[in-house]
Structure 1
Amino acid sequence: MKYRPGWQRGLIELRQSFTNPAELTSHFLWPVLMLVALFFLRYRDFGSTGLLLGALALPSILGMNAAMGMVSMSQLLTADRADGTLLRAKAIPNGMVCYLIGKVVSVAGGLIVDLAILLIPGLIIVDGIALGSAHWFTLVCVLLLGLVATLPIGAVLGSLLTTARSQGLIQLPMLALIAISGIFYPITALPGWLQFIGQLTPIYWMGLGMRSALLPSEAVVVEVGESWRHLETAAVLGVWAVAGLLLAPVVLRRMARRESGSKVAERREQALRRVA
């Protein structure tokens, strides 16, 4: 298979992330902090709905973490562009596509492990979570489709930036989109125009899909149209996935064509001057 090196590269990077002390700490730190928050929310009621705040928070935290994979992808691509990794990749046949596949595999694998670290203890801590086999199937499908839909977008965004210092240009808008996506509270509480914008993003549909997988059926009353909209979730995430997978390799190849050894050296020199 001509794209097999990309898959192998991703698995190697994923394995290395669990042998590096700094990266290993990052895998556990955020899930542990979220579990502490869930512990204190586990018995609090959400208004007069009869639902527990901890049960509502768990799928929301999972959805937010999965959505932040776009930022992680963007940061990694920007770093690889700065140190010349992308420049070397473009010299290999199918190098840019294999590079993209490798990053999707490594980032998605790391996110899935992080979510498992959060989800498994969270199911023990929090009451009111649905655990049927159909719910698990929905959760896995939404997670995998959501990652395929969002990670290539992160690659496209990262290809537009030349330095790690410019990552704030992505992080701030991303946090704003997460805020209006219904991840932390029902999107129906927002003005109509914000609801429209939120539903254009894959973040909203990832959160909706995870809530449909983990929450009891009566929780649907707080959603748009009082429906989990499974078909719409699959369709929107599918469109984003296809668009991202088609667009990302093209953008990466065009960006790589503008890269040169002199540009990489110039960025290194600028970084050294800032440190000095």
Structure 2
Amino acid sequence: MNHTANAVRAGLARGWIELKQTATNGQDIFGNLLTPVILLIVMLSMRGDTLAGFPLSQAVFALPGVIGMNIMISGLMDIAGRLAVEREDGTLLRAKALPSGMVGYMVGKVVTVSGSALVVAAAIIVPGAFLFDGLRLDAGAWLGLLGILVLGLLATMPLGAIAGSFLTNPRAVGALMLPIAGLAAISGIFAPITLFPEWLQWIGQVFPMYWLGLGVRSALLPDAAVAIEIGESWRQLETVAVLGVWAVIGLVVAPVVLRRMARRESGAAVAQRRHKAMQRIT
């Protein structure tokens, strides 16, 4: 009997069930749609603004970057948050007790988080296509968008698993928001990175968020928009290379970190975390 294959099948089934539950739970629906609605309102306020020498509005420039930013937030914070919560409530310990249980557990999380991330991306781009003029939405654009979203999730979800392995409780997930907000500020999400000092441009290009934004812009914006990018190029090969490197690093490091975390899980550890959680509530 192939325990790993069975675990993968169970993980796929579990992830699909969790995804369907998310789609029918009012609280989850509200949580998934709140951020896209807020961002669309922000971009609507920018619709009349233009960038010097740029043929489209600032809102049209920002929309692809926002999609890329949300992919990173989903891949990093969602995975990390789920790991932290399910370590505390004992779900991870139960998964560990099964043959290849951690494999099935992580496959399920990948399915759930990927599905939710794609729903959030759709919740931004579909209304955005009606609200803002200038987006390129032909078959090639959709194919390019799907490709960069999948690559972006591969690059960010392992990082989320690594971060979640070190979080001591679910409330610590909020600490990840500060560096993500800092990255958004220097990664050319709402304004072209070429407007920043060169040293800041180099820092922004180290991390996946800039390349996610660039990749989505290359898929959705017209060819003339490339004039405002670094080197007046979409740098598609570089985008694939950088995100690919992040994906490889994450996929190599994450299993090691997750195995080490799983070895530390025990009934006593779960009971101690629950006791601390109850003390915080009372």
Indicate the TM-score class for this superposition, using the shorter chain for normalisation.
over 0.9
- TM-score with structure 2 setting the length: 0.93
CA contact (8 A) 1:149 1:237 kept: yes
Segments of 5+ residues of structure 1 without an aligned counterpart are: none
Of 39, 42, 58, the match for 2:44: 39
Instruction: Measure the CA separation in 2 of the matches of 1:20 and 1:30.
Output: 17
* Counterpart residue identity of residue 60, structure 1: G
Partner of 1:203: 209
Q: Select 2:22's aligned residue among 11, 17, 25.
A: 17
Is residue 239 from structure 1 mapped to residue 245 from structure 2 by the alignment?
yes
Q: 1:111 aligns with which of 114, 117, 123?
A: 117
**TM value normalised by structure 1:** 0.95
- Per the TM alignment, residue 186 of structure 1 is displaced from its structure 2 partner at its CA by 1.6
- Contact 2:58/2:190 (<8 A) preserved: no
RMSD: 1.5
Please tell me whether the aligned partners of residues 149 and 240 of structure 1 are also in contact (alpha carbons under 8 angstroms).
yes
Poorly superposed stretches of 4+, deviation over 6 Å: none
CA offset digits 1:10-31 (Å, max 9, x no partner): 1111111112211111122222
- Counterpart position of 2:95: 89
> Is 1:31–1:117's contact at 8 Å kept on the other side of the alignment?
yes
Q: Check whether the contact 1:100–1:249 (CA below 8 A) recurs between aligned residues.
A: no
Show CA shifts across 1:124-170 (max 9, x none). 11001112322221111001110111011111101011112322332
Partners of 1:110 and 1:223 in 2: CA distance: 30
2:10 pairs with one of 2, 5, 10: 5
Measure the CA separation in 1 of the matches of 2:128 and 2:39. 9
The one of 207, 215, 218 aligned to 1:212: 218
Which amino acid letter does the alignment assign opposite residue 230 of structure 1?
Q
Is it true that 1:263 corresponds to 2:265 in the alignment?
A: no
Specify which of 63, 86, 98 is matched with residue 80 of structure 1.
Answer: 86
Partner Cα distance (1:63, 1:83) in 2: 31
Counting aligned pairs with the same residue, the percent is 51
In the alignment, is residue 273 of structure 1 matched against residue 266 of structure 2?
no
Deviations 1:150-204 (A, max 9, x none): 0111111010111123223322122212221222222222233322221111111
